[in-house]
Structure 1
Amino acid sequence: MSDDTSPDVLAHVGANVRRLRSAAGLSQQGLADAAGVSRRTVINLEAGQANVSLAALDTLAAALDTTFVSLVIAPSATRDKIDELMWRGSDSASHATLLGSAPARAEGQLWRWSLGPGDRYDAEPDPDGWHEMLFVTEGAIVVEFDAERVELGVGGHRTYSSAQQYAYVNETSATATFLRVVLE
């Protein structure tokens, strides 16, 4: 998530972390230790004031024996229609919205991403066994891996293991939009 993440999402995350932590019988320090984050991060998350990375939310979800979506979903939302703004880039046209989620081995997520001209998103590796599928609907992006650069234009797609360093890059002067499916 970023500093421009919707306050509603931060409130959902805070309430969900607090509820799930309590249900698991964990103290704030216990959750912090299990997730490898500071107690202050857990306190701030529960207050709806912390802004953590998407990967940190995955780690917290694992520590709570739940899913990423369970941490970010609004109480009134359904998994097939989440529609939550989760990330903003440095360009006002860059953002990621979690559209929905479906079961996979653990969970599947459908996202709509936009990257403004010259913007990028650097991802942290997911656990082994995770994959992503991308489909470009407008403009063009480059997907950077350690040993490979893949250019995708409108209609271009790519499926890959996300258990590695990768980045989405818009090297053009126009906004790029793409769909992203994450499979756990």
Structure 2
Amino acid sequence: MAERSGVSRRTIINLEAGEANISLSGLDRLATALDTTFVSLVAAPSATPTAIDAVAWRGRTAESIATLLGSAPASREAQLWSWSLAAGDRYDAEPDADGWHEMILVISGQLLIQFENNELVLNPGDHSTYSSAQPYAYANPGKSTTRFARAVIS
């Protein structure tokens, strides 16, 4: 395993014992050596790609933490957007081509994402992953500006 992944034997042994804090790229190399994906390696077996919520790294203090929130398949392009919507504003999106997904993380305010047959209300810290190959809209039902990060993946 150490030879295939490029991760030292000592690190692997300490990782198995829960005594090592491996880098994210080290985890990725271990996943490749195990013929799996990074997401499959760190996610709980019951997790869905849209709600992984797996801690993948911890720093020296409790405030230093990296949590994998969700995953979407990608083969062509990924875009990262910073969005803000004023109170009462709305964005109506056209459906993307099949295979496109969005990942949203609300930073402040409240975001309503409306689909044809359902809707999601996201508050600060909430996230969602969904296929954008469908009609959808963003709306701000609150009284203050909503800010969110949007990743578009194809």
TM-score by length of 2: 0.52
Show structure 2 runs of 5+ residues with no match. 1-73
Distance 1:142 1:127 in 2: 22
**Equivalent residue for 1:115, pick from 78, 85, 88:** 85
Runs of 4+ more than 6 Å apart: none
**Equivalent residue for 1:138, pick from 108, 128, 132:** 108
Distance 2:85 2:149 in 1: 12
**Equivalent residue for 1:148, pick from 118, 122, 126:** 118
User: Which residue matches 1:124?
Assistant: 94
Structure 2 residue identity aligned to 1:145: F
Alignment of 1:1-184 (within 5 A): 104-184=74-154
Distance 2:118 2:149 in 1: 21
Structure 2 residue identity aligned to 1:178: F
What whole-Å deviation, never above 9, does each CA across 1:91-132 have from its counterpart, x for those lacking one?
A: xxxxxxxxxxxxx41110000000000000000000000000
State the structure with bigger RCO (CA 8 A, min sep 6), 1 or 2.
Answer: 2
Distance 2:94 2:149 in 1: 19
Q: What is the CA-CA distance between 1:164 and the residue it aligns to?
A: 0.1
Distance 2:118 2:78 in 1: 25
CA RMSD of aligned residues (A): 0.6
Show structure 1 runs of 5+ residues with no match. 1-103
What whole-Å deviation, never above 9, does each CA across 1:65-106 have from its counterpart, x for those lacking one?
A: xxxxxxxxxxxxxxxxxxxxxxxxxxxxxxxxxxxxxxx411
User: Which residue matches 1:13?
Assistant: none
Distance 2:111 2:101 in 1: 18
Structure 2 residue identity aligned to 1:158: S
Distance 1:134 1:113 in 2: 10
TM-score by length of 1: 0.44
